[in-house]
């Protein structure tokens, strides 16, 4: 024993085990801040970043789906590229122009990201100009997963609503990704800087403990946050009402779906607004749609108010919903202070393993039901949809809908998550949604991606819903039969025109496809008057005035 | 509010019929006494715009205006409803002539001692640019007909949204004896997009909905006394309010005839100092509603 120890010590005598800790100490010393003072001067932020950062650093910038550490990103973009360059940016959502100006100025060089909605054109352009190098494009949880494996940040620039002098943070309802980014950084000797809206003596609650946070700085203005999950019911079409009715009857009722996640869009907003009216008339209250992994969609308010919803766990919050959530603590996850606590990674986990169904709309689908929201000339990334929209093969617990998907009669079988894709056969302007070849293939080639950026893989899809009908793809027994089922509900698209009438009739007889009349849904009844709310005003009224729609959604 | 009261309110809310949701034909039907709706020059008369097809636009068989005769509390009535989803409710030669002609016929009936109650459902961006001068000419005829008709019966205008009422047709609205609006309605000469395009985004950001409605929205127009009734988007309430407006009879003085009052109000405005919605309310307070 004693011998071994000695040998071990000898073998490692020359090596330091504290290089990371020492490096962090050197950076902090270079900053020259008095020990114990965590509060930085906002005016000196550019200079501070210049002292703390080193060329080539991995920087996690928050860059979330909703809230943005915009004070810090505006400061970062002003550092001297002679001193600070070739940064490796880890950012879940590229949504602000300065995120990309970092690359134009040469401050950053490499990029790992999940989603670039508003900036997707510029990402493609910078890539083409050779100013930006992409590590990988991820789903949210994958990017965060790698922060705990081989992409640990040297510096994290995050945001919160309030901090105290000890660096404890109150994130407010939009907790989102902050705890995850901070954990990955703080526990591996990275430096965590949080911009806050205000410094207070006492926080409403502590979302992130001060010992994880190196510095806080009071921003010049409150952090930016976008109402991304608000859909004005005024724009829901009667086709979407029809599809919503089919989903409620042909999927939710048929399989008894009680736990679920809705993608964002007008199709799913229609379903949410049909629950208190159409769903009620079918006597389904309490039998479907009870437990949700969902952002606080304003369009869920009528269903909550009518007693349909037991619980909602949220990825993030939604602007205008704060007071409503606070007044419904039975439904939402709230802190002792009463405000929402969201958490994107945990909600993603819940959405993968805890719920039985994902449903979302797609912009393009091929004959095999692979789908994509990628359009030519843009590099938009993935966001969270692929995580929700797949069948997690690691799941072992069962539930009625999960077992309901089993079609094989064998001693060893497994259930399956319901993954539902909604697609109107044609988009505005008469372009078909169901196509021979996804634009994603071309985009993938052009951007040098190793594989095409498919959002939802066809073999994960259990149901496809168009205005023509539902294809129960989980019932198909071959790739060829899958394609026949998709074609049977693809309307007048090129894929639909290939459908063989006799084949479709046979699939219909076996229940592999169903038309509205097979589900007891009358297209004539699909009127907007079935929606529990037909405008933002209606939603505000449903909430008893607790929902305060942002100005851009108010028509009064 | 107690839970029970809240539930009751929701029930009421669900039971309400939205007027905004309706098309022009449904709106006219909702205003008139049940079962009394009879359409004049309907789609099967195929009175279309001769000008739109020349510009590659498919013409609709009623040119976007629904004329309906019927009754209001049993009294003969005329409703002219503009279909906002067809060419933005714009007034072309045919659609404008339909309204002007119907009002002129109502005038003839009134002159012969058979009063007809006229209602205008105004959802229009104004003149149809593709038919420029012809559209403007018929709008002038509509103005003249309203002024002639309101000597006999009140002319009632309804603006419910979501298009609003703009351009030459906003003058038609201003000539009405009484105007009924919802919160969603807008009433103004130039639409916000036109102002932004002509005067720049610094003058008016047309995408700033809160700002737009604070200037020309139904609530603001009601607060400064330019309209007479502010209602929820409820078809039953709007139909009832139209009946009440007729029951009140001819106004003592038409709003558009109150020249001195409005000259005085305009004189109170200093064009050097930009005026916002609340500012105008404060300035005109007294004569206007709070």
Domains in chain B with CATH codes: 16-187+227-256 (3.90.226.10)
- Reading the block at residue B54, the tokens are 């020349």
Residues A362 and A432 in one domain: yes
Mean predicted lDDT score pLDDT of chain A: 93
The domain that contains A444 carries what CATH number?
A: 3.40.1080.10
What local confidence, expressed as pLDDT, does residue A1 receive? 45
What local confidence, expressed as pLDDT, does residue B2 receive? 55
What local confidence, expressed as pLDDT, does residue B288 receive? 46
A556–B183 C-beta distance less than 8 A: yes
Render pLDDT for A523-555 as a digit per residue (tens, 0 to 9).
999 999 899 999 998 899 899 999 999 988 888
What local confidence, expressed as pLDDT, does residue A182 receive? 98
Render pLDDT for B230-281 as a digit per residue (tens, 0 to 9).
998 899 999 999 999 999 999 999 999 999 999 999 998 888 888 889 889 9
How many angstroms away from the CA of A431 is the closest CA of chain B? 20
B264 touches chain A (CB under 8 A): no
B17–A537 C-beta distance less than 8 A: no
Q: Is A95 helix (H, G, I), strand (E, B) or coil?
A: coil
How many CA atoms are closer than 13 Å to the CA of B231, on its beta-carbon side? 23
Residues 6+ apart with CB under 8 A from A427: A363, A433
B217–A556 C-beta distance less than 8 A: yes
Render pLDDT for A143-175 as a digit per residue (tens, 0 to 9).
999 999 999 999 999 999 999 999 999 999 999
Q: Which of B21, B208, B218 sits opposite A528 (nearest CB)?
A: B21
Q: Are A223 and A195 in contact (CB under 8 A)?
A: yes
How many angstroms away from the CA of B216 is the closest CA of chain A? 10
How many angstroms away from the CA of A396 is the closest CA of chain B? 41
Q: Is A81 among the domain residues?
A: yes
Q: Is A544 exposed, middle or buried (0-12, 13-18, 19+ CB in 10 A)?
A: middle
Residues A257 and A166 in one domain: no
Distance CA A520, CA A450 (A): 45
Residues A69 and A147 in one domain: yes
Tell me: pLDDT of A238 over 80.
yes
Q: Which of B6, B18, B213 sits opposite A534 (nearest CB)?
A: B18
How many angstroms away from the CA of B126 is the closest CA of chain A? 20
Q: Is A314 among the domain residues?
A: yes
DSSP assignments along A349-407, one per residue: HIIIII-SEEEEE-SEEETT--EE---TT---B-BTHHHHSS--TT-----HHHHHT--
Best probe of the B interface among A232, A273, A555, by most B CBs < 10 A, is A555
What local confidence, expressed as pLDDT, does residue B13 receive? 65
Residues 52-111 of A with CB under 8 A from B: none
Q: Is A150 among the domain residues?
A: yes
Q: Which residues of chain B have pLDDT under 50?
A: 1, 288-290
A237 touches chain B (CB under 8 A): no
Best probe of the A interface among B1, B184, B218, by most A CBs < 10 A, is B184
ipTM attached to this prediction? 0.70
Q: Which of A276, A544, A554 sits opposite B209 (nearest CB)?
A: A554
A535–B20 C-beta distance less than 8 A: yes
Q: Which residue has the tokens 């951007």?
A: A447
B11 touches chain A (CB under 8 A): no
A305–B10 C-beta distance less than 8 A: yes
Best probe of the A interface among B11, B13, B26, by most A CBs < 10 A, is B13
Q: Is A169 among the domain residues?
A: yes
Percent of chain A with pLDDT over 90: 82
Q: Is A24 among the domain residues?
A: no
Q: Tell me which chain A residues have a C-beta less than 8 angstroms from the C-beta of B218.
A: 556
Q: Which of A203, A225, A247 is the last residue of a domain?
A: A225
Residues A261 and A339 in one domain: yes
Residues 6+ apart with CB under 8 A from B183: A537, A555, A556, B217, B218, B219, B230, B232, B233
Residues A269 and A408 in one domain: yes
Q: Which of A225, A253, A278 is the last residue of a domain?
A: A225
Q: How confident is the model at residue A2 (pLDDT cuts 50, 70, 90)?
A: very low
Q: How many domains does chain A have?
A: 2
Q: Which of A225, A255, A270 is the last residue of a domain?
A: A225
Q: Tell me which chain B residues have a C-beta less than 8 angstroms from the C-beta of A537.
A: 183-184, 233
Q: Tell me which chain A residues have a C-beta less than 8 angstroms from the C-beta of B161.
A: 555
For residue A130, the enclosing domain spans 36-225
């Amino acid at each position: 024993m004693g011998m071994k120890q000695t040998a071990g010590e000898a073998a490692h005598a020359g090596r330091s085990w504290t290089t990371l800790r020492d490096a962090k100490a050197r950076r902090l010393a270079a900053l020259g801040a008095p020990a114990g003072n965590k509060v930085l001067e906002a005016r000196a932020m550019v200079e501070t970043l210049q002292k703390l950062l080193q060329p080539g650093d991995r920087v996690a910038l928050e860059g979330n789906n909703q809230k943005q550490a915009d004070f810090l990103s505006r400061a970062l973009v002003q550092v001297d590229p002679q001193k600070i360059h070739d940064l490796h940016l880890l950012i879940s959502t590229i949504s602000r122009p300065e995120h990309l100006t970092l690359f134009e100025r040469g401050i950053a060089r490499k990029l790992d990201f999940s989603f670039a909605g508003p900036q997707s054109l510029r990402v493609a352009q910078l890539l083409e100009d050779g100013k930006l190098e992409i590590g990988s494009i991820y789903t949210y949880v994958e990017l965060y997963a790698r922060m705990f494996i081989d992409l640990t940040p040297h510096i994290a620039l995050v945001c919160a609503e309030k901090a105290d002098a000890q660096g404890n943070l109150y994130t407010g309802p939009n907790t989102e990704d902050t705890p995850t980014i901070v954990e990955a950084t703080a526990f591996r000797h990275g430096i965590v800087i949080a911009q806050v809206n205000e410094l207070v003596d006492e926080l409403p609650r502590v979302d992130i403990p001060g010992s994880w946070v190196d510095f806080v700085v009071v921003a010049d203005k409150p952090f930016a946050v976008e109402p991304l999950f608000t859909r004005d019911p005024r724009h829901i079409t009667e086709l979407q009402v029809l599809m919503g009715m089919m989903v409620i009857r042909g999927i939710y009722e048929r399989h008894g779906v009680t736990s679920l996640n809705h993608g964002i869009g007008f199709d799913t907003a229609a379903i949410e607004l049909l629950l208190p009216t159409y769903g009620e008339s079918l006597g389904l209250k309490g039998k479907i749609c009870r437990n949700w992994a969902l952002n606080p969609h304003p369009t869920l308010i009528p269903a909550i108010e009518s007693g349909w919803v037991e619980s909602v766990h949220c990825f993030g919050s939604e602007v205008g919903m704060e007071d409503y959530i606070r007044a419904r603590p039975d439904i939402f996850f709230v802190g002792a202070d009463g405000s929402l606590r969201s958490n994107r990674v945990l909600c993603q986990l819940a959405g993968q393993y805890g719920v039985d169904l994902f449903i979302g709309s797609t912009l393009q689908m091929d004959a095999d039901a692979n789908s994509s929201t990628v359009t030519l000339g843009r590099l938009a990334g993935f966001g969270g949809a692929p995580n929700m929209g797949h069948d997690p093969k690691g799941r072992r617990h069962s539930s009625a809908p999960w077992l309901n998907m089993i079609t094989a009669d064998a001693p060893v079988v497994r259930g399956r998550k319901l993954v539902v894709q909604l697609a109107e056969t044609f988009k505005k302007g008469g372009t078909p949604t169901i196509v021979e070849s996804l634009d994603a293939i071309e985009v993938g080639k052009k951007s040098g991606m190793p594989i095409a950026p498919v959002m939802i893989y066809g073999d994960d899809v259990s149901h496809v819903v168009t205005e023509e009908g539902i294809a129960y793809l989980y019932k198909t027994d071959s790739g060829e039969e899958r394609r026949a089922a998709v074609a049977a509900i693809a309307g007048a698209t090129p894929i639909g025109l290939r459908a063989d009438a006799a084949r479709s009739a046979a699939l219909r007889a076996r229940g592999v496809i169903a038309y509205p009349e097979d589900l007891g849904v009358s297209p004539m009844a699909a009127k907007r008057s079935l929606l529990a709310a037909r405008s933002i005003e209606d939603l505000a009224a449903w909430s008893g005035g607790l929902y305060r729609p942002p100005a851009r959604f108010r028509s009064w | 509010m107690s839970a029970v009261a809240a539930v009751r309110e929701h029930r009421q809310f669900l039971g309400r019929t939205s007027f905004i949701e309706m098309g022009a034909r449904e709106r006219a039907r909702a205003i008139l006494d049940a079962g009394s709706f009879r359409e004049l020059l309907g789609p099967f008369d195929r009175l279309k715009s001769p000008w739109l097809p020349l510009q590659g636009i498919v013409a609709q068989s009623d040119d976007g205006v629904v004329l309906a005769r019927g009754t209001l509390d049993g009294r003969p009535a005329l409703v002219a409803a503009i279909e906002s989803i067809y060419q933005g409710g714009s007034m072309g030669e045919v659609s404008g002539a339909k309204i002007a002609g119907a009002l002129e016929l109502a005038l003839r009936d009134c002159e012969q001692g058979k009063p007809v109650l006229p209602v205008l459902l105004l959802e229009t961006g104004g003149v149809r640019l593709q038919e420029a001068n012809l559209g403007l000419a018929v709008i002038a005829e509509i103005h003249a007909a309203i002024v002639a008709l309101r000597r006999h019966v009140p002319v009632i205008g309804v603006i419910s949204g979501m298009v609003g009422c703009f351009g030459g047709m906003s003058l038609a609205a201003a000539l009405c004896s009484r105007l009924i609006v919802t919160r969603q309605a807008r009433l103004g000469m130039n639409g916000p997009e036109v102002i932004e395009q002509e005067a720049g985004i610094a003058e008016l950001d047309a995408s700033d909905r809160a700002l737009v409605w604070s200037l020309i929205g139904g609530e603001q127009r009601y607060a400064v006394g330019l309209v007479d009734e502010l209602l929820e988007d409820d078809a039953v309430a709007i139909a009832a309010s139209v009946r009440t407006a007729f029951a009140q009879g001819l106004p003592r003085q038409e709003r558009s005839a109150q020249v001195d009052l409005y000259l005085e109000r305009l004189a109170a405005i200093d064009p050097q100092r930009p005026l916002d919605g609340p500012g105008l309310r404060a300035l005109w307070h007294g004569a206007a509603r709070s």
